[in-house]
Amino acid sequence: MIAENCGFKVETPKKQGKQWYIDIQQYTPAGEDWWVSVWFNSKDDIGNAVENLYDDFDVDEEAELWIESRGKNGVPDSIKELVEDQEWKEKKLEELHEKLQASPMEESMADRLLKAIESRRFAFERYTGDGMLWNYQPIRVEPVFSSYGQIGWQVYAYDKEFCQYDYELEEITIS
């Protein structure tokens, strides 16, 4: 929501290897269809990832990429306009970074997940298998069996045991 409030279109998070990424897109004032991939390990890491993008952004290097294409295929003729467009992109990354840093985390992922389970609003079946996201966090759920059949669910976050929910006893055991 924060990126969308900064004017970005936000794609669905995707996993590659052990990392996640989100592609964000926005048109610059000079008309560039600007895409940025934000790589992160967890939702809490997105702010740091955007900070790194902002810190590493070099206006001169970015403008230089377009110099040879000036006046062709919609690229502005003016070097000044190219530089101003790259400065605008740098300001957008700075704005996104500042808003992410200023956004207080209302409650931790663990607290939200426990509340969802306790209120019976968590769809365990939906998160079985690898590569699933719950609130932008990697999560995996496995059924728990006894000799009489399934009695609950085991929830893993970041490939570590998080909690077990016994639906017969309506009991949550936090790992």
Q: What is the mean pLDDT of each run of 10 residues along the chain (175 residues)?
A: 88 82 95 94 81 95 95 95 97 92 62 81 84 79 88 82 82 76
Stretch (H or E) spanning 59: helix 59-67
Q: Is 97 exposed, middle or buried (0-12, 13-18, 19+ CB in 10 A)?
A: buried
Report the pLDDT value the prediction gives residue 77, as an integer from 0 to 100: 95
Which residue from 134, 156, 157 is spatially nearest to 143, judged by alpha carbons? Answer: 156
pLDDT score at 171: 81
The pLDDT of residue 132 is 80
In Å, how far are 4, 33, 45, 126 from 172, measured between CA atoms?
Answer: 36, 48, 27, 19
Q: How far apart are CA 103 and CA 110, in angstroms?
A: 18
| pLDDT score recorded for residue 106 | 44
Tokens coding 5? 């409030």
Nearest to 13 by CA among 3, 1, 23, 5: 23
Q: What is the pLDDT of residue 105?
A: 45
